[in-house]
Structure 1
């Protein structure tokens, strides 16, 4: 229970076409095996503000995640546009092979695109326990706000799923590395590729997994970013350099 094999899929998301995206993912992952498969932000539609049109109202994306998690005997995680109780959420699911579901609603909404006018923000952090790892779920713009992801010695890995455009990709790479170093944690950031319905471009090979020293430890092959994480390595590093205990105490207000 001290090792975790992750494979993440960089792909060109078909704009507002859930069935096409489900089919594409299934095809690209057909011969892949892992403990956890990671998918980008709004993997079933693209990062879209037309929530009335695209949001899941009958758990389409979630039900598909459950089916593929069962078929692949692996966990799956990614975010989707969801409608619930009259509100819209950018919801990151974590579905385990046995069908157990956890989710995190994106806290920091991207006002630059008007996301905050359409979607409702989440009201809490979410940490998942899976195969011995404590995993913090985060979505795209959350990356810019380090206080929200500050490690209180309560997680070992942060997952960021994103649609982060090429024009700001330098910030994406820098902040991912910073989150890993400051939190003494593994950090896996997954981005999409291609051009979306708003004509925004997303570069290839812009997804990475960093270790607690800020070193890239992932490999890329045919749109698949893979890494094998060893929890013992992380724990040994934290024992050798116990920096987390010197951090400031604070409480988040929601």
Structure 2
């Protein structure tokens, strides 16, 4: 199965972000991708964290969800819609939801980011829990490729990457990581954490990132990539908008798991 990790530098205009996302999804389709993963907050990076509450959509209704459904159907793609702010019963907190759409435009899975980022280095600080409500359950989707093979795709978002127990529970063939890693943490930890998750789960990893200088002054690390079950980086892009395409090989994954049956050796 050919897949695409889409990298963006999203801004404060929902319309411009969606237009750029569609152009990149179309580029992925022309490159032969069957599954495309958009980054965290692909649709909106506001001036302030609380701005995402202004665009939070009712689950199943809204401009961004319609966009994802239409794009999946028009382009014939499986799409992981990075994250979309979805309304909760608390108007002061939204869910940071990753949504999966099939090529018919149906939403087949929703995962709410479980682990919420908090960081302060004395100069810059973030506290996602101020405006987000965490999810409480792992979610995987069954994605069928053009050859008829079904892949178990485990969903995660950004800061989840630091919690390996989530990925064990997902027990997936493919792990997707839409993200908006800060420049500081991304430079230090992004690639090593992604490769670790691939190696320890003997799974493909599709990591789609925000990557560049945003209108709100934030700088994100980027380096979107696809990694194989042996931990090899198959393709990547450092910064700026773009599409990272790679082929997932079921036989290669099975061979890795046969040669080193670490998943069968677990005792805890």
Please report the TM-score for the alignment, with normalisation by the length of structure 1. 0.89
In structure 1, C-alpha distance between the alignment counterparts of 2:237 and 2:246, rounded to whole Å: 9
User: 1:11 and 2:8 equivalent?
Assistant: yes
User: 1:214 and 2:231 equivalent?
Assistant: yes
Question: 1:210/1:193 Cα in 2 relative to 1: closer, same or farther (>3 Å)?
Answer: same
Unaligned runs of 5+ in 2: 120-125, 145-149
In structure 2, C-alpha distance between the alignment counterparts of 1:125 and 1:118, rounded to whole Å: 21
Unaligned runs of 5+ in 1: 250-254
In the alignment, which residue of structure 2 is the partner of 1:232? Answer: 251
Shift of residue 56, structure 1, vs aligned partner: 2.2
In structure 2, C-alpha distance between the alignment counterparts of 1:158 and 1:32, rounded to whole Å: 19
Question: 1:210/1:151 Cα in 2 relative to 1: closer, same or farther (>3 Å)?
Answer: farther
In structure 2, C-alpha distance between the alignment counterparts of 1:39 and 1:219, rounded to whole Å: 14
In the alignment, which residue of structure 1 is the partner of 2:118? Answer: 111
Does the Cα contact within 8 Å between 2:138 and 2:169 map onto a contact in 1? no
Please report the TM-score for the alignment, with normalisation by the length of structure 2. 0.84
User: 1:62 and 2:69 equivalent?
Assistant: no
Shift of residue 244, structure 1, vs aligned partner: 0.8
Shift of residue 227, structure 1, vs aligned partner: 0.8
2:159 counterpart SS class: helix
In the alignment, which residue of structure 2 is the partner of 1:52? Answer: 53
In the TM superposition, what are the counterparts of 1:184-203 in structure 2 within 5 Å?
184-203=202-221
Deviating above 6 A after TM superposition, structure 1's stretches of 4 or more consecutive aligned residues are: none
Q: Give the alignment's Cα RMSD to 1 decimal.
A: 2.0
In the alignment, which residue of structure 1 is the partner of 2:179? Answer: 162
